[in-house]
């Protein structure tokens, strides 16, 4: 077994949000056995209403003594509202791709800023969003909408049009931008007529704006019925 390959895979898996997979012996065992192709499974809960499962696919190189993590299938499950259950396959290239949490955000309908490769194998950055009303021809995935740089969505500029207190601190500002780029809904403080109000925002490149939720509305969407921390 190629120990360097194992360490690299473990590092990439942790980066993509699959750290629990690296803490088990199954990955190492399959590689030691020289299995041509194998799958590993994991799951996580990022909110109180759903569970997201993932099946990770690994492939042994035909020419080199190494394995590649090629893709994973994410399944977002709503036991109380099964009609909302969705799945999507996300491909991994050179150890890079949509993280597990980003997959959750995409399957919930939000947008993520990520890196893709064109037909000439040149990478580029773009916002992506799953078109949850449209499937691919083989009916296995949702179609992916892209909002590239020339689309004109400037998240930092959009944020600057709102009275968000965190924008006054450079570290908090960058944390907010990074979180929104990952597809998260992020808590912020709106300053209105000398009054502080906690709100929740998400990036919305499709409309070149933001989606904004009050604390009460977001708590209901999270399913807690309580204030979201």
| DSSP per-residue letters across 24-81 | SSHHHHHHHHT-SEEEEEEEE-SSSS-EEEEEEEEEE-SSSS-EEEEEEEEEEE-SS-
Q: In what order do the strands lie in the sheet with 86-91?
A: 37-44, 51-60, 67-77, 86-91
- pLDDT value at residue 101: 98
202, 217 Cβ separation under 8 angstroms: no
What CA–CA distance (Å, rounded) separates 158 from 208?
8
Give the integer Cα–Cα distance in Å for 118 and 136: 19
162-171 contacts: CB < 8 A, separation 24 or more? 162/190, 162/201, 162/210, 162/212, 163/190, 163/191, 163/192, 164/188, 164/189, 164/190, 164/191, 164/201, 165/189, 165/190, 165/191, 165/196
Which tokens belong to 111? Answer: 């947008």
At residue 53, the pLDDT reads 97
Cα 145 from Cα 124, distance rounded (Å):
15
* Stretches in the chain below the pLDDT threshold 50: 224-229
58 and 38 Cβ atoms separated by less than 8 Å: yes
pLDDT for position 223: 60
Helix axes 3-15, 26-33, angle to 10 degrees: 140
d(CA 211, CA 23): 37
Q: What is the 3-state secondary structure (H, E, C) of 158-184?
A: HHCCCCEHHHHCHHHHHHHHHHHHCCC
DSSP per residue, 74-128: EEEE-SS-GGG-EEEEEE-BTTBS--HHHHHHHHTT--EEEEEE-TTS-EEEEEE
Q: CA-to-CA distance for 131 and 133, rounded, in angstroms?
A: 6
> Is residue 156 classed as helix, strand or coil in its secondary structure?
helix
Question: Which pLDDT value is given to residue 23?
Answer: 79
Residue 96's pLDDT is 92
């Amino acid at each position: 077994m190629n120990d360097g390959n194992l360490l690299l895979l473990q590092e990439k898996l942790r980066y993509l949000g699959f750290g629990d997979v690296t803490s088990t012996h199954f990955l190492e065992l399959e590689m030691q056995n020289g299995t041509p192709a194998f799958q590993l499974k994991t799951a996580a809960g990022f909110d109180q209403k759903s569970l997201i499962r993932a099946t990770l696919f690994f492939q042994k190189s035909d020419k080199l003594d190494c394995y590649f993590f090629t893709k994973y299938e994410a399944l977002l499950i709503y036991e109380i509202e099964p009609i909302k259950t969705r799945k999507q396959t996300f491909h991994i290239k050179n150890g890079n791709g949509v993280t597990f949490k980003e997959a959750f955000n995409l399957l919930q309908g939000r947008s993520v800023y990520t890196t893709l490769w064109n037909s000439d194998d040149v990478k580029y950055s773009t916002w992506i969003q799953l078109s949850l009303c449209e499937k691919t021809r083989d009916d296995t995935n949702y179609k992916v909408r892209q909002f590239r740089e020339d689309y004109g969505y400037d998240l930092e500029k959009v944020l600057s049009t709102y009275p968000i207190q965190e924008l006054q601190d450079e570290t908090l500002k960058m944390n907010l931008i990074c979180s929104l780029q990952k597809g998260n809904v992020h808590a912020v403080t709106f300053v209105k007529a000398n009054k502080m109000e906690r709100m929740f925002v998400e990036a919305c490149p499709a409309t070149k704006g933001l989606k904004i939720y009050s604390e009460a509305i977001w708590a209901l969407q999270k399913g807690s019925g309580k204030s979201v921390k």
